[in-house]
Structure 1
């Protein structure tokens, strides 16, 4: 199953949301930002979905795990 109908049509790229907002430091206490990168089931969204770099994805994952440990974010949503 092909993803794109026309192979000659250029792909539309979405900008990195962290770079667009000018965010350089990802902090575990910034729960409003971290919630944007968590699914409705409580899972950390993938890089393919969020369009962040590998380094930013690692920082986000670590910050989300720290926030969960400190009870700032839930482990799962019901």
Structure 2
């Protein structure tokens, strides 16, 4: 069996174009807690139009992406974050 198809790939995956590094969730690596009151942290996951960024753009795992989305929605309901950016109104 080739080294690319072994079960122990040390964080690398085989792709058509060669070897590609597997992304690791930023929040899993740091063991960081997600809190709806931390507006500076949550604003990293919102684009300039006020939309929530997808997993592919944020680099988060499914579990943490769902937690971030829930925290952003809670912060919006509590009027800590705007639904739409002020420049868009």
| TM score, norm. by length of structure 1 | 0.78
The residue that corresponds to 2:76 in the other structure is 68
Q: Which moved more, 1:11-20 or 1:62-71?
A: 11-20
Cα-Cα RMSD: 1.8
Report which of the two has the higher share of strand.
2
Using the TM superposition, give the Cα deviation of residue 15 of structure 1 relative to its aligned residue in structure 2, in angstroms.
4.0
Q: Structure 1: which 5+ residue stretches go unaligned? A: 1-6
Distance in 2 of aligned mates of 1:57 and 1:39? 15
Number of equivalences: 72
Report which of the two has the higher share of helix.
2
Q: Which runs of 4+ in 1 moved over 6 A?
A: none
| TM score, norm. by length of structure 2 | 0.69
Residues 1:27 and 2:32 aligned together:
no
The residue that corresponds to 2:25 in the other structure is 16
User: Greater relative contact order: 1 or 2 (C-alpha under 8 angstroms, separation 6 or more)?
Assistant: 1
